[in-house]
A and B are shown apart, each in its own frame.
Chain A
Amino acid sequence: MSRAKVISYSPWVAHFNTGACNGCDIEVLATLTPLYDPERFGVKLSPSIRHADILIVTGAVTKKAAERLKRLYEQMPRPKYVIAVGACAIDGGVFSKSYSVVAGADRVVPVDVYVPGCPPRPEAILDGILQLVQKLRSGGVSGGSK
Chain B
Amino acid sequence: MTVDKVIEIPVSLEVPIGPQHPALHEPVMLKVYAEGEEVVKVEVNTGYNHRGIERLTEKNSFYRNIFIVSRVCGICNIVHSDVYVRAVEQVMDIEPSRRAKYLRVLAMELERIHSHMIINAIMAEILGYDTLFMYIMRDREKVMKAKEILTGNRVLGDYLMVGGVRRDLNEVDRERLKNILVKLEPEVWKYIKVFEEDETLWKRLRGVGVIKPRDVTLHGLVGPTARGSGVNIDARREGYDAYGEVPFNIIVRSDMDSWGRMMVRWHETIESISMCKYILENLPSNGPAVPDETRLPRKFPVGEAFARVEAPRGELTYYVMSDGRQNPYRVKIRTPSFNNIINSGFSYIGHTIADVPVILTSYDPCISCMERAIITDLRRGERMYLRFKDLSTRLK
Q: Do chains A and B touch in the complex (CB under 8 A)?
A: yes
A137 to chain B, nearest CB (A): 27
Q: How far, in whole Å, are A60 and B72 apart by their CA atoms in the complex? A: 11
A19 to chain B, nearest CB (A): 4
- CB < 8 Å neighbour of B74 from A18, A21, A35: A21
B229 adjacent to chain A (CB < 8 Å)? no
A106 to chain B, nearest CB (A): 18
B215 adjacent to chain A (CB < 8 Å)? no
Q: How far, in whole Å, are A121 and B153 apart by their CA atoms in the complex? A: 9
27-49 of chain A: CB within 8 A of chain B: 27, 29-30, 33-35, 47-49
Q: How far, in whole Å, are A119 and B138 apart by their CA atoms in the complex? A: 19
Q: How far, in whole Å, are A34 and B64 apart by their CA atoms in the complex? A: 37
The residue among B73, B134, B140, B156 with the most chain A CB atoms within 10 A of its own CB is B156
Contact status B27-A19, CB under 8 Å: yes
Contact status A33-B156, CB under 8 Å: no
Q: Which residues of A contact B13 (CB under 8 A)?
A: none
Contact status A95-B56, CB under 8 Å: yes
Contact status A26-B52, CB under 8 Å: no
Q: Which residues of B contact A88 (CB under 8 A)?
A: 71
258-285 of chain B: CB within 8 A of chain A: none
- CB < 8 Å neighbour of B156 from A15, A18, A34, A119: A119
Q: Which residues of A contact B74 (CB under 8 A)?
A: 20-26, 119
Binds A, one of B17-25, B303-311, B340-348: B17-25
Please count how many residues in chain A sit with their CB below 8 Å of the partner chain's CB atoms. 41
Contact status B51-A17, CB under 8 Å: no
Contact status A98-B55, CB under 8 Å: yes
Binds A, one of B42-50, B230-238, B239-247, B291-299: B42-50
Contact status A22-B75, CB under 8 Å: yes
Contact status B134-A99, CB under 8 Å: no
A118 adjacent to chain B (CB < 8 Å)? yes
Binds B, one of A1-9, A62-70, A107-115, A126-134: A62-70
Q: How far, in whole Å, are A68 and B133 apart by their CA atoms in the complex? A: 28
- CB < 8 Å neighbour of A16 from B20, B50, B52, B140: B20
Q: Which residues of B contact A95 (CB under 8 A)?
A: 51-53, 56, 68, 71
B67 adjacent to chain A (CB < 8 Å)? yes
Q: How far, in whole Å, are A91 and B247 apart by their CA atoms in the complex? A: 44
B176 adjacent to chain A (CB < 8 Å)? no
Contact status A26-B118, CB under 8 Å: yes
Q: How far, in whole Å, are A88 and B71 apart by their CA atoms in the complex? A: 10
Contact status B19-A23, CB under 8 Å: no
Contact status A100-B20, CB under 8 Å: no
Q: Which residues of B contact A146 (CB under 8 A)?
A: none
Fill in one digit per residue for B1-25: 1 if any A CB lies within 8 Å of its CB, else 0. Answer: 0000000000000000001101001
Q: Which residues of A contact B154 (CB under 8 A)?
A: 27, 119, 121
Given the known interface contacts A19-B50, A22-B368, A119-B155, the answer about A65 and B71 at a Cβ–Cβ threshold of 8 Å is no
132-191 of chain B: CB within 8 A of chain A: 133-134, 137-138, 140-141, 144, 154-156
Given the known interface contacts A24-B74, A94-B67, the answer about A18 and B27 at a Cβ–Cβ threshold of 8 Å is yes
Q: Which residues of B contact A121 (CB under 8 A)?
A: 154
- CB < 8 Å neighbour of A23 from B25, B53, B134, B156: B156
Fill in one digit per residue for A77-105: 1 if any B CB lies within 8 Å of its CB, else 0. Answer: 00000000000100001110111110000
Sample of 13 further A-B pairs with CB below 8 A, known A26-B118, A64-B47, A97-B56: A14-B20, A17-B27, A23-B77, A25-B25, A26-B155, A27-B154, A34-B134, A62-B51, A94-B68, A95-B52, A95-B68, A95-B71, A98-B51
Q: List 26 A-B contacts (CB under 8 A).
A: A14-B20, A17-B49, A21-B77, A21-B368, A22-B75, A22-B366, A25-B26, A27-B154, A27-B155, A33-B141, A34-B134, A34-B137, A47-B22, A59-B49, A62-B48, A65-B48, A65-B49, A72-B20, A94-B68, A95-B51, A100-B52, A101-B52, A118-B156, A119-B74, A119-B154, A119-B156
